[in-house]
Chain A
Amino acid sequence: MASLAEKLLLHIADEGHHSSAKVTVVGTGQVGMAAAFSMMTQGIISELALVDMVESKLKGEMMDLQHGQAFLRTVKVVASTDYAVSKGSKICVVTAGARQNEGETRLQLVQKNVQIFKHIIPNLVKHSPNCILVIVSNPVDILTYIAWKLSGLPRNRVIGSGTMLDSSRFRFQISERLHIAPQSCHGYVIGEHGDSSVAVWSGVNVAGTRLRDILPNIGEKEDPENWEQIHKDVINGAYEIIKLKGYTSWAIGIMVSTLCNAILKNQRTVYALSTLATGYHGITDEVFLSLPVVVGENGITSIFNQMLSESEAAKVLASAKTLHEVIKGIQL
């Protein structure tokens, strides 16, 4: 006997199963879920897959996202502890990873996360061999390098969130001082995502006018307006928010959504992202750190040969050496 559904609709062609814009998020913690929610509310994907280790949390998050769908463009939401659910993803976002314990060295933290990535990365590539990997877990530059090694993917398809968020915080702080929109203040923070990131003051500009042309020692010790405080605030930004609310989520979530949109729509936008930096600014070691790059559906397709001052270039080189020291000590 025909069901109501069968009486209501006359099927005339196969429903497709191909997802033209599928993104997988590994890790349903605060960062992963903010990224997932952002992608849903901004309507940039056609399918979202969530992967983590705790089934009940996964199912709860999936249902909570599904229940809002009448108010959004329909997005298929699936979730499982089994990576098969990620099959056919254009982008796989990795937010999973151990947090730093008290007294733990950076190398110890990295080694713990390497073990976690040894499970995650091959599983993602198995089900989506042509995907783009976006690594968010920290320490991001090192883990992006690890993901590149473990995945076997070409370097353009392994992207670390790097200093994309630092640059966004940087632009926000500059906009507060100038009383104009952040989108109209252009500036980059590059290098290692962390305490030794490099603010490229020589490039900061509004409407093509470099701030350095008006204030020659901007960002340096002698700067009477102490613009370098902005860079310090960017570095401390995350720590401060963690102290106040326990973790950060919204900004990184929007950032991931924006990056995925640039990839899916082949936008060719320029962002500071963690990529293989060998050959730039005198770097000879094999390391990943953030540089301004062009990103589209084939991942990172160009790297900007940014003009840096001598001191800026020296800082980036120092970053590269520090990162290389850590990478050398890793057992892959």
Chain B
Amino acid sequence: MEATTLADQLLVRIAEEHDHASAKVTVVGVGQVGMAAAFALMTQGVVSELALVDVVADKLRGEMMDLQHGQAFLRTVKVVASTDYAVSKGSKICIVTAGARQKEGESRLELVQRNVEIFKFVIPNLMKYSPNCILVIVSNPVDVLTHVAWKLSGLPQNKVIGSGTMLDSSRFRFLISERLKIAPQSCHGYIIGEHGDSSVAIWSAVNVAGTRLQDICPQIGTSSDPENWEQIHKDVINSAYEIIKLKGYTSWAIGIMVSALCNAILKNQKFVYTLSTLAKDYHGIKEEVFLSLPVVVGENGVIAVFNQKLSEDELEKIKQSAKTLNGVISGVKM
């Protein structure tokens, strides 16, 4: 007679345990950004299963164990980790934070080409195990890499999303809130275009309680603005550099942002965020490029794009962004 274990004696099984995860998210890259995103997804109870993928097995296992050991205090989330992409099977969302960092003296195109080689490995592997997933690209330069991910994945454009200027817009709203002394959630404003030095702050859209700041201060954001609100936009562009100088890297804000985006997708929330998407045919853009526009995001990814009214100056800047990005993408060897 076979001895039954304690577990067998304690519980009488009456049905199959399922392995299906209704809200599974994979994070590729367990550096500061990837882990901050993973931790935010766990503490906010957004996912039912989290898979971590990277190339270093030890670090992966350590991070997995560290997350698992907190689970008695959270809603149970299954955490798995492997260098083998099979662990990502069945993901609703795959977040890519992996990628090379810019070396001293390296041109943007050289950096992009290095990351294209990495993506040629990462993207097809993710698609193999989660053919219906939504890809969220965070690695920089994000607009170009989102475009590359779209090409490599074969997914429809609505299912490939770049984090783009979602964080820029959040920093923008935070800085506006500091000046007005109200909550960031109540200050509405959008930064669009290329995520980087040439992003475009849409001052005409900045509003609180439906009141456009531009109606009170017509030169807001221009060089003749006596209150120099454009300094806020400059501070947003410099934020990442400044935080990197102070603490070595950025992690928490982008982590929270990724968690908020995943929540919007998984719960089909239909929030409006500025995200990197295929921008051809908007604002007179003729090139096939990805850059950030305000979009509606839900469980089918980007489901609508806002046709924002831009000033002539803003239109010019966006078109210039598109030209620059097209220049980079044309030079990429896929």
Contact = CB atoms under 8 A, between A and B. Distances in A.
A291 to B, nearest CB: 18
Contact of B251 (A56, A64, A258): A64
B10 interface: yes
Contacts of A5: 179-181
Contacts of B73: 168, 254-255, 257-258
A165 interface: yes
A251 B67 contact: yes
Q: How large is the interface on B (under 10, 10 to 19, 20 to 34, 35 or more residues)?
A: 35 or more
A57 interface: yes
A237 B247 CA distance: 28
B39 A250 contact: yes
A49 to B, nearest CB: 16
For B10, B67, B72, B173, which residue has the most chain A Cβ atoms within 10 angstroms?
B72
Given A8-B180, A8-B216, A41-B256, A172 B68 contact: yes
B256 A168 contact: no
Interface string A163-207: 001011101100001111111000000000000000000000010
Interface string A134-175: 000000000000000000000000000000010111011000
A91 B64 CA distance: 29
B59 A244 contact: yes
A240 interface: yes
Contacts of B5: 225
A66 B259 CA distance: 16
B76 interface: yes
B216 A250 contact: no
A328 interface: no
Interface in B137-194: 167, 169-171, 173-174, 179-185
B103 interface: no
B66 A251 contact: yes
A177 B6 CA distance: 10
A132 to B, nearest CB: 19
A171 B72 CA distance: 7
Q: Tell me the interface secondary structure of chain A in the complex.
A: helix
Contact of B70 (A206, A211, A251): A251
A242 B63 CA distance: 10
B14 interface: no
A240 B190 CA distance: 45
Given A8-B213, A237-B65, A182 B72 contact: yes
Contacts of A34: 39
B239 A172 contact: no
Contacts of B69: 165, 168-169, 172, 237, 241, 248, 250-251
Contacts of B17: 179
A309 to B, nearest CB: 18
Contacts of B208: 8
Contacts of B58: 243-245
For B6, B213, B216, which residue has the most chain A Cβ atoms within 10 angstroms?
B6
Interface in B188-225: 208, 211, 213, 216-217, 220
A268 to B, nearest CB: 16
A4 B7 contact: no
Contacts of A69: 170, 174, 184
B242 interface: yes
Nearest to A224: B3
A38 B170 contact: no
A165 B69 CA distance: 8
Given A4-B216, A60-B246, A63-B243, A183 B256 contact: no
B10 A211 contact: yes
B227 interface: yes
Given A37-B252, A70-B174, A255-B70, A8 B211 contact: yes
B312 to A, nearest CB: 23
Contacts of A255: 70, 73
Contact of B72 (A57, A65, A168, A227): A168
A72 interface: yes
Given A4-B217, A70-B184, A214-B10, A245 B70 contact: no
Nearest to A30: B66
Interface in A65-87: 65-72, 74
20 contacts: A5-B179, A7-B217, A38-B43, A41-B256, A63-B243, A64-B253, A68-B252, A68-B257, A74-B185, A168-B69, A172-B69, A214-B10, A215-B6, A240-B62, A243-B58, A244-B58, A249-B66, A251-B68, A253-B39, A254-B42
Interface of A: 3-5, 7-9, 15, 33-34, 37-38, 40-42, 56-57, 59-61, 63-72, 74, 165, 167-169, 171-172, 177-183, 206, 209, 211, 214-215, 218, 224-225, 227, 237, 240-246, 248-255, 257-258
Closest 3 CB pairs of A and B: A244-B62, A60-B246, A60-B247
